Structure 1
Amino acid sequence: MNEVLKTLTNHRSFRQYNDTPITDEDLDAILQAAQAAPSWIHGQQVSVIVIKNKDKKKQLASFCGNQEHINQAPIFLVFCADFYRAKLASEIEEKSFDIVNDADALLVGATDVGIALSNAIAASESLGLGTVPIGGIRRNPLDVIELLEIPKYVIPIAGLCVGYPSEDPGLNPRLPKESFRHDETYETNQIQYIKSYNEIFKQHQLKKTNGKHDSNWSNRISKFYRVKHYDNQYPDVPQMLHQQGFTCKDMK
């Protein structure tokens, strides 16, 4: 196994960081790797806002659900789906700007962010740094937009803590590879894999928390994706999309 594959398959999420600063050289390398990621029609629909200011990190930690690791990490990156430049390009060429009326714009932006985010994670880990993605950036997106002065046609999708980890949380076990790989057609008989994985996940949680948590995977996921719970966690996303110009009027 080569070094790239070792880095990718050794991924883990770190939520404890020491106070060692990240060099500008390493930060530039991480951002260069993120910017080098492929994007739809080479539209480069991603921007990254670098947060080092302690007060801003504190505010963002609060917006994201009081996630202390955002405070601890020396750098917090906010990955945005960015169609602002595309809007400017349309103005330069005197063309209509209709993509924001199409729901596919959201898929394009989120996908491009995901690829760039993955590059940033791999680059960070190759430099001996630890990371954890933060989906909670969408808990209070209107506050995030105001704090970071994000213009119309740009939406914050995910954050990323980057720093030198102070402890190793270990690898989280994954679902069986048979549930991940589908040959030629989608295999819908997933319950067998979920049930076998539930016990593996439960034992991992017991070991990781010294017996304090013993929930299995399906229990954890089903609790999070309850409609009422999810709506309470991210209530402002529809308003944020409308405010930022994504009307999705073409949906039928």
Structure 2
Amino acid sequence: MEALEVMKQHRTYREFDETYQLTEEELQTILQASRQAPSWMNGQMYSIIVIKDRTIREQLVALNPRNPHMLHSSVFLIFVADLKRTQKVAEHYEAEYPIAEGLDPLITAVTDTALALENAVIATEALGLGSVVVGSIRKNLSEIGELLNLPDYVFPIAGLSIGKPTVEMRVKPRLPEQAVVHYDTYQDYDYSLIEEYNATMEKFAEARETKRWSKKFADYFGSTPNKQVDEFLKKNKFFQF
């Protein structure tokens, strides 16, 4: 029941006590929980980069100034999809490694990485701490790849700032169940459910939101996708087309 309550009470924090230091025991508890996440065939196709060095964190904020918590939180983790480990295995067995011929290996690694990330979020909150997932690290992939010395077959998915929150946040409402949960087959639903959610979010009135929920994503997906992702994946041998 405690774990269920933690998940139901999830919220994102962006303001942290800069004087609070995560203990090594707390950090290891979070990392162990993260590493225990389910993965395809127990492949564990991810790695976790623990960023403690202040200089590196300052450089990350310089690349992504809208997320100063990457510096001010107690620790910043970067979760990467990692197919380098299986490439080493292939080399050991002198086997082919044609992962660039299809997207399934990448999807598998991204899924494993996301599951590990979510376990870290839950463990963080179970310890009475807060976190914020940072997907925008994918906007500066080339620079981050060099900064972190990432080899081929390794792709940054998201960061995670962890610390002691200084500003209380409310639990954010989610989409209506009928728009998300389907039984047996995918079921179409009326657009009014999205309008209902727009109204819910307007009442929630989160200060950082300047657009209606639906308009935000209409604008986002109406723009050209982040081409840095494609270029980075090709450069790092994830796919060739």
Q: Give the TM bin, normalised by the shorter chain.
A: over 0.9
Equivalent of 2:216 in 220, 235, 238: 220
Matches within 5 A, 1:120-131: 120-131=120-131
Cross-structure match for 1:199: 199
- Aligned partners of 2:61 and 2:71 also within 8 Å: yes
Residues of 1 paired with 2:108 and 2:10: CA distance? 25
* Alignment-derived partner of residue 63 in structure 2: 63
2:101 matched to which residue of 1? 101
In 1, Cα distance between the equivalents of 2:39 and 2:176?
A: 30
Superposed, 1:1-252 pairs within 5 Å as 2-19=1-18, 20-205=20-205, 208-209=206-207, 215-228=211-224, 231=225, 234-249=226-241
* Pair 1:227–1:95, CA change in 2 (3 A): same
Larger mean Cα displacement after TM superposition, 93-102 or 57-66: 57-66
Q: State the AA in 2 paired with 1:9.
A: K
Poorly superposed stretches of 4+, deviation over 4 Å: none
Q: Does the 8 A contact of 2:178 with 2:189 survive in 1?
A: no
CA distance, structure 2, for counterparts of residue 197 and residue 5 of structure 1: 24
Distance 2:123 2:91 in 1: 35
Residue deviations 1:127-148, cap 9 Å, x none?
Answer: 0110110001100101111000
Task: Name the aligned partner's letter for residue 218 of structure 1.
Answer: S
Helix, strand or coil at the partner of 1:140: helix
Distance 1:21 1:243 in 2: 37
For the residues of structure 1 that align with 2:68 and 2:81, how far apart are their CA atoms?
Answer: 25
Structure 1 CA distance, aligned partners of 2:5 and 2:91?
45
Structure 2 distance, partners of 1:32, 1:97, is 30
1:26 partner SS: helix
CA distance in 2 between counterparts of 1:36 and 1:108 reads 17
Q: Secondary structure at the match of 1:94?
A: coil
> Quick one: structure 1 residues 213 and 243, their matched pair in 2 at CA, closer, same or farther if it must change by over 3 Å?
closer
Q: Structure 1: which 5+ runs fail to align?
A: none
**Equivalent AA in structure 1 for residue 77 of structure 2:** L
* Larger displacement relative to structure 2 (77-86 or 59-68): 59-68
Preserved CA contact (<8 Å) 1:202 1:215: no
Alpha-carbon spacing, 1:148–1:184, altered in 2? closer, same or farther (3 Å): same
**1:64–1:136: 8 Å Cα contact kept in structure 2?**
yes
**Equivalent residue letter for 1:242:** K
Distance 2:164 2:209 in 1: 27
* Distance (whole Å) between structure 2 residues aligned to residue 186 and residue 93 of structure 1: 42
Is the 2:131–2:162 contact (alpha carbons within 8 Å) kept by the matching residues of 1? yes
TM-score by length of 1: 0.91
Q: Which deviations, in whole Å up to 9, do the C-alpha atoms of 1:63-110 show, x marking residues without a partner?
A: 235311111112110000001110000111111111232211221111
Q: Are 1:37 and 1:115, in contact at CA under 8 Å, matched by a contact in 2?
A: yes
- Unaligned residue ranges in structure 2 (runs of 5+): none
Q: Distance in 2 between matches of 1:31 and 1:190?
A: 42
Contact 1:202/1:214 (8 A) holds in 2: no
The CA RMSD measured in Å over matched residues stands at 1.5
